[in-house]
Amino acid sequence: MSSSSDFQQDRHSFSGSPEKWNDFELPGDTLYYRFTSDMSNTEWGYKFTVTVGHLGRFQTGFEILKQMLSEERVIPHIPLAKIWEWQVGVACRQTGHQRLKAIHLLLKIVQCSTQGDCDFTLLKPLWQLFTHMENNLCQDVAKPGILLPLHRALTELFFVTENRVNELGSLQEYLLALNTEDHLHRCTAQ
């Protein structure tokens, strides 16, 4: 299935049992599909359902929030603390592009936040993911240091957040809240 007749754009290929098929979105108003059988099975074919007329809820929400956070005159009128809490939750639960987009929104919120807008300690699960990625990178010195998109996004998020928290005067509390007591003991021992 594709959004172009040459099957080069937004291509999705499926084979085998229905469990291997998953939902996806195609831009535009036309769906091209091709069914090819290798004659290895005597099943009847395939079946799929097309729903039209809307973007996915995640993508729509992302676009709306991104636009709102880009408008300085709108920012004072939106509940940044609540949106921050929701986006941290999304970034912790989602994977792939959705997680990257949630982190992008978190960066925008950090950059426009003021004292008390955001509970930066909510980033602890993402901090643990980031430190895990950092530790794996340090342990695997044989491979070249190419960072995955998630690693780069988390690096930027924590760099910008640390600078912002420092500007707001609560860096020590933030760093203590992100780390576990075990980690603090190890750092002190070192």
- Mean pLDDT, residues 63-84: 90
Q: Are 87 and 54 in contact (CB under 8 A)?
A: no
With 0-12 / 13-18 / 19 or more C-beta atoms within 10 angstroms meaning exposed / middle / buried, residue 43 is exposed
Confidence class for position 144, pLDDT limits 50, 70, 90: low
Confidence (pLDDT) at 26? 76
Distance CA 29, CA 47 (A): 20
Tell the residue number behind the tokens 């929701």, with chain if given.
86
Q: Does the CA dihedral 83-89-92-94 come out positive or negative?
A: negative
Share of residues in the chain with pLDDT > 90 (%):
31
Share of residues in the chain with pLDDT > 70 (%):
88
Give the model confidence (pLDDT) of 45-61 as tens digits: 677 777 765 555 778 88
